[in-house]
Amino acid sequence: MDGQRRVGVAVDFSACSIKALKWAIDNVVRKGDYLVLIAVRPEGDYEDGEMQLWQTTGSPLIPLIEFSDPNTMRKYGIKPDAETLDIVTTAAAQKEITVLLKIYWGDAREKICEAIDNIPITCLIIGNRGLGKLKRAILGSVSNYVVNNGSCPVTVVKKADHEN
């Protein structure tokens, strides 16, 4: 991946992360880039499967062909939705890009910042759930944390006021 742009998109397979993914593909990704989807799962007691092997460092970079396979993803405890898979499969073919998935376990704020440095990511696009001020103060905003602590340019794709 040396010399190539690595565009990161934080995904949790929610509507706001799908919107961020679409925005990244439409506005940032160009021919020859690597599109790296970064997924963070909650920390837990994983007794078997790939999760136990990669809990500290995150999974290896998983190519699109593998993360399109439900059996492979079951090993990691993750289930990408059909819309996300369709979006990245289409983008890979049309834009001639390489799509990879990296899975981390733990606190999303810290692990996304860790991914920026470890992969490394050229720029990151992240969705925003549109929490109100009170919820954001109590729960903490992942996007706000990454904007303030990430070591690359970060673009936050905001949820529109009329979206659920």
Strand ranges, E, within 64-160:
98-105, 123-127, 154-157
Q: How far apart are CA 101 and CA 61, in angstroms?
A: 6
- 123 found inside a domain: yes
- 162 found inside a domain: no
Domain CATH code at residue 114:
3.40.50.620
50 or 36, which is more confident? 36
The count of domains in the chain is 1
- 152 found inside a domain: yes
- 50 found inside a domain: yes
Give residue 103's identity as a one-letter amino acid code.
I
Tokens for 151, please give them: 């070591």
Question: What mean pLDDT comes out for the span 41-67?
Answer: 74
Question: What mean pLDDT comes out for the span 120-134?
Answer: 81
- 25 found inside a domain: yes
Q: Identify the H or E element spanning 149.
A: helix 142-149
Q: Which tens digit of pLDDT belongs to each residue from 12-33?
A: 988 889 999 999 999 999 999 9
Q: Is the pLDDT of residue 2 over 70?
A: no
CB 17 within 8 A of CB 124: no
Domain that includes residue 136, residue range = 6-157
Upstream peptide bond of 120 is cis (omega within 30 degrees of 0): yes
Tokens for 39, please give them: 């997924």
76 or 122, which is more confident? 122
- 149 found inside a domain: yes
User: Would you put residue 68 in left (φ > 0), alpha (ψ -120 to 50) or beta?
Assistant: alpha
With a pLDDT cut of 90, the percent of the chain lying above it is 57
Q: What is the pLDDT of residue 50?
A: 52
Q: What is the pLDDT of residue 130?
A: 62
**pTM of the predicted structure, to 2 decimals:** 0.87
CB 153 within 8 A of CB 116: no
Q: Is the pLDDT of residue 137 over 70?
A: no
Q: How far apart are CA 19 and CA 128, in angstroms?
A: 10
Q: Is the pLDDT of residue 54 over 70?
A: no
77 or 151, which is more confident? 151
- 87 found inside a domain: yes
Residue tagged 């997924």 (tokens): 39
- 1 found inside a domain: no
